[in-house]
Amino acid sequence: MMSVQSIARKTIDQRIAGNNVWLGYSVDGAEIPANNSAFNFQVLASEEAVGQAMFDELIAYSKEKSGDIIILLLGGRGAQAMYKIISRLAQTDEIDALLGRLHVFTQDALAPMRMNNGLSFVRDFERLLGDEFFAKIKSFTPMNTETGDLEGELVKYLEKLEALGGIDIFFLGFGPEAEAASHLCYIKPNSGARFNDIAGIIPISPTILEHHISKFKVGGSNISAEDEAECRRATSILTLGPAAILGAKKIVQSIVDASTAPGKIPSFKRFLETELATEKTELAKQCDENPGLWIRLHNNVSSFVLPDVLSVPSAVADGLD
């Protein structure tokens, strides 16, 4: 393990786990948090209702906290309904005061890839949120994928995030994996992520690559053949890690696309039914094998899902939250 940078008086170390590079804080004596309570989620009738609920969480948080707010945008389908609401309001002055307080960050990326590639989250956010949004927010910081020094640029990103005070609201989705496992951000199963890893650079996999491209196409992104060819040449994934998830003050999760990503149905079932270990080493092993479980260790989560992820009729699902 080698120290690569200090972030706001914290030491960040580089750790190699197989083919994965993890950047983590050195925290003496720290232990993985434990949370054995049931995971609470709310089943809503439509994607529009989920988007409104996510937006309401942002508004509520903004009323509780004064000053700037640091948020992590969710790519793909999960937050598109919320972005439609924000984009519409950004064209008026109704939420100008809120927008002027926002420092906005992305949470993952495929690399190397041009920042203006139609399959980059940056272009998708520009399309969904609109020019008015980006003109009114305080700052926008994506992960830089158009560089020969991915690790160095990732550290700069982390420096800015830490200097601003850390994550207020982390908007998260839920990705399916083989054997009904799941991922958050792009933390892959068995990638060696530990609870104090703030970010990582991991090899691309066919599963994630296909999931990424398909969810962008379903979401309506304008993708050229050149964009897709370049995306398919990407070799790495930049992702925030468990420490970023666990360190966020609030998590807002959405799962809205099981109809187009049916692998989420068994993955969510396993996620809910897994009994978390009380022994720290075993708990860490569970989370590495099934990274979706990291969210269950956080004590301030609002999770909104559509009935199709439960694969039962809506009327029954309403009683399961």
Per-residue pLDDT reduced to its tens digit, 89-110: 999 999 999 999 999 999 999 9
Give just the sign of the alpha carbon dihedral 173, 54, 116, 136: negative
- Could you tell me how far CA 298 lies from the centroid of its own chain? 14
Q: What is the pLDDT of residues 288-302, one digit of tens each?
A: 999 999 999 999 999
Contacts of 155 (CB under 8 A, 6+ apart): 4, 5, 7, 12, 23
Largest interatomic CA distance in the chain:
54
Q: Label residue 36 by pLDDT band (50, 70, 90).
A: low
Kindly state the tokens that stand for 204. 């691309």
pLDDT at residue 261, rounded to an integer: 87
pLDDT at position 235? 93
The model's pLDDT over 235-272, given as tens digits with 9 standing for 90+, comes to 999 999 999 999 999 999 999 989 888 999 999 999 99
Averaged over 159-171, what is the pLDDT?
A: 96
Domain ranges of the chain: 53-317
Residue 148 has which token pair? 């020969």
For 182-198, how does the pLDDT look when each residue is reduced to its tens digit (9 = 90+)?
A: 999 989 999 999 999 99
Instruction: Judge whether residue 29 has pLDDT over 80.
Output: no
Of 30, 31, 25, nearest to 9 by C-alpha is 25
pLDDT score of 319 more than 60: no
Which is more confident, 15 or 312?
15
The residue among 212 and 173 whose pLDDT is bigger is 173
Instruction: Give the model's pLDDT for residue 30.
Output: 56
Least confident of 25-29, 83-87, 119-123: 25-29
pLDDT-based confidence at 216, cuts 50/70/90?
A: confident
For the chain, the first-to-last Cα distance in angstroms comes to: 43
Report the SS3 class of residue 265: helix
Mean pLDDT for the stretch of residues 113-118: 93
Q: What angle do CA 147, 103, 84 make, to 5 degrees?
A: 95
For domain 53-317, the CATH architecture is 3-Layer(aba) Sandwich (3.40)
Query: Amino acid letter at 306?
Result: L
